[in-house]
Amino acid sequence: MCQIIYRSLGFNENQPPQTMAHVHPPLPYAYDALEPYIDTQTMQLHHIKHHGAAVDNLNKAVAGTDAEHKTLESILASASAYPAAVRNSAGSHYNHSAFWQALGPAGTQPTGALLAAIIATFGTQDALKEQMNARAISHFGSGWVWLVMKDGKLEITSTVNQDNPLMDTAEVQGIPILGIDVWEHAYYIRYNNHRAAYLTNIWHVINWEEVARRYDAAL
């Protein structure tokens, strides 16, 4: 299943070892595509500077170590075995790559098996949003809130810093279906300290087609 996730994010595990350097993928839409919910300046800084630095730091942190030729998924699955610089930058690279793809211009809605699972688990789509937002608002400091598949069921969890549910260190391990960045850099320019307002608005720009695709792949 991890292979599917890995490929689905555009990484190619078949690259020969000498070209295994981790690559910063381009944003799959324009920097202003999420306006007015996520502003252009935030998207530029977040994608180019924050995510770009994570990829650079990851390549530096693994250089000359036994992690140098490991896939990103392999590093995450053994996160406890690596120093903080590797764990943080690998997590950041995975989390942000998945985040960009799970966002997109407003207008999509959950459908099919994903919608059925949301109704079965949370009652309504709004209840899912409310529960994820409550988890994100109560999350202290920087981190991510997640919708994961665990033992065949949807579950909400959160992780600190750049950790994620694929890491062997995660309190709740599962397949990430949707991750929302709750670091201040994700919202501070437009929303200042109003994390709740950011969380209310981000649901307008969730790419439900991508989220449903991940759910189907995880089944």
Contact residues for Mn ion (CB under 5 A)? 181, 183
Angle value at C-alpha 100, between 104 and 6, nearest 5 degrees: 125
Instruction: Look at the alpha carbons of 159, 162, 164, 170 in this order and tell me if their dihedral is positive or negative.
Output: negative
> Which pair of structure tokens corresponds to residue 190?
């437009």
In the complex with Mn ion, the residue whose CB is nearer, 110 or 179, is 179
Nearer to Mn ion, 91 or 110 (CB): 91
Question: Least CB distance from residue 68 to Mn ion, whole Å?
Answer: 25
The beta strands (E) that lie in 57-119 are given as none
Smallest distance from the beta carbon of 166 to Mn ion, in angstroms? 17
Contact 36, 204 (CB under 8 A): no
CB-wise, 170 or 218, nearer to Mn ion? 170
Taking the complex as a whole, how short is the minimal distance between the CB of residue 50 and Mn ion, in angstroms? 5
* Number of residue whose CB is nearest Mn ion: 181
Q: Which residues contact 180 (CB under 8 A, 6 or more apart)?
A: 99, 132, 136, 144, 145, 146, 199, 202
**Minimum separation from the CB atom of position 114 to Mn ion (A):** 24
Residue 73 or residue 181: which is nearer to Mn ion going by CB? 181
